[in-house]
């Protein structure tokens, strides 16, 4: 059970991090998330922290847990191909998740786990302050947009995300998660349309 004190501690810790390096260290030293004890590694982020494109996924899987980097398994390979299709890769994209530790057996993160990680994720977005934020999959989309809608309704719709008064609104779009696309390749057509829209937004 996550208590209010746990969440307040996470918020106070995260808010005090004024660089990405400090935030990474704070997440590594944060012991209140029980997933830490069942995982091998913290999975904080990969890519360029000066990028204008930030991608947020759900949670690390087995490969990510082993290596300590996000999106390095099969779904990650597809994400790399999706980015390549719009001339992006990990040198000009910043990639992270709403959960920093692997949920056992790749189960869906619980609301408590999401709530506890959220202050760090929010600070992460503030510090990266990307031009475009892509939310990969339903968990990232619902968490960041504070929505209960399903991904089929959410995907492809642009939002002006006001994550904090400290930074301007961010152009934000949910897309299907690459793991979902591996299971349902017929949905790639919609994703291609979303990717073109992302490419266009990045060039404005
Ligand atoms: N799926 C995610 O959402 N994130 C990862 O890092 C890997 C797979």
Reported as a single tens digit per residue, the pLDDT across 136-153 is: 999 999 999 999 999 999
Q: Is 130 in the pocket of ligand 1 (CB under 6 A)?
A: no
Are the C-beta atoms of residues 53 and 128 closer than 8 Å to each other?
no
pLDDT in tens, 70-91: 999 999 999 999 999 999 999 9
Q: What is the number of other CB atoms lying within 10 angstroms of the CB of residue 198?
A: 23
CA distances from residue 59 to 101, 107, 164 in whole angstroms, order as listed = 7, 9, 23
Domain-wise residue ranges, the chain: 4-203
Give the pLDDT band (50/70/90) at residue 105.
Answer: very high
Give the pLDDT band (50/70/90) at residue 157.
Answer: very high
Give the pLDDT band (50/70/90) at residue 38.
Answer: very high
pLDDT in tens, 56-70: 999 999 999 999 999
Task: Supply the pLDDT for residue 83.
Answer: 98
Task: Supply the pLDDT for residue 89.
Answer: 98
Whether residue 186 is predicted with pLDDT greater than 90 in this model: the reply is yes
**Average confidence score pLDDT of the chain:** 97
Whether residue 204 is predicted with pLDDT greater than 90 in this model: the reply is no
Task: Supply the pLDDT for residue 85.
Answer: 97
pLDDT in tens, 19-33: 999 999 999 999 989
Domain range 4-203, CATH class: alpha beta
Task: Supply the pLDDT for residue 1.
Answer: 82
Q: How far apart are CA 109 and CA 99, in angstroms?
A: 8
By alpha-carbon position, which residue is closest to atom 7 of ligand 1?
71
SS3 of residue 77 by DSSP: helix
| Distance from the alpha carbon of residue 157 to the mean position of ligand 1, in angstroms | 21
Q: Best of 44, 62, 76, 82 to mutate for ligand 1, by most ligand atoms within 8 A of CB?
A: 76
């Amino acid at each position: 059970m996550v208590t209010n004190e746990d969440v307040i501690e996470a918020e106070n810790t995260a808010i005090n991090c004024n660089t990405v390096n400090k935030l990474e260290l704070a997440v590594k030293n944060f012991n209140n998330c029980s997933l830490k004890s069942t995982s091998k590694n913290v999975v904080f982020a990969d890519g360029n922290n000066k990028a204008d494109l930030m991608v947020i996924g759900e949670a690390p899987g087995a490969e990510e847990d082993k290596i300590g980097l996000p999106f390095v398994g099969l779904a990650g390979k597809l994400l790399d191909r999706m980015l390549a299709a719009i001339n992006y890769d990990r040198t000009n994209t910043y990639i992270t998740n709403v959960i920093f530790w692997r949920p056992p057996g790749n189960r869906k993160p619980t609301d408590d786990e999401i709530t506890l990680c959220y202050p760090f994720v929010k600070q992460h977005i503030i510090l990266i302050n990307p031009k475009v934020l892509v939310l990969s999959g339903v968990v990232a989309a619902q968490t960041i947009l504070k929505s209960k809608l399903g991904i089929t309704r959410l995907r492809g719709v642009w939002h002006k995300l006001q994550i904090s008064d400290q930074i301007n609104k961010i152009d934000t779009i949910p897309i299907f998660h690459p793991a979902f696309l591996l299971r349902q390749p017929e949905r790639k057509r919609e994703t291609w349309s979303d990717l073109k829209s992302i490419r266009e937004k990045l060039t404005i």
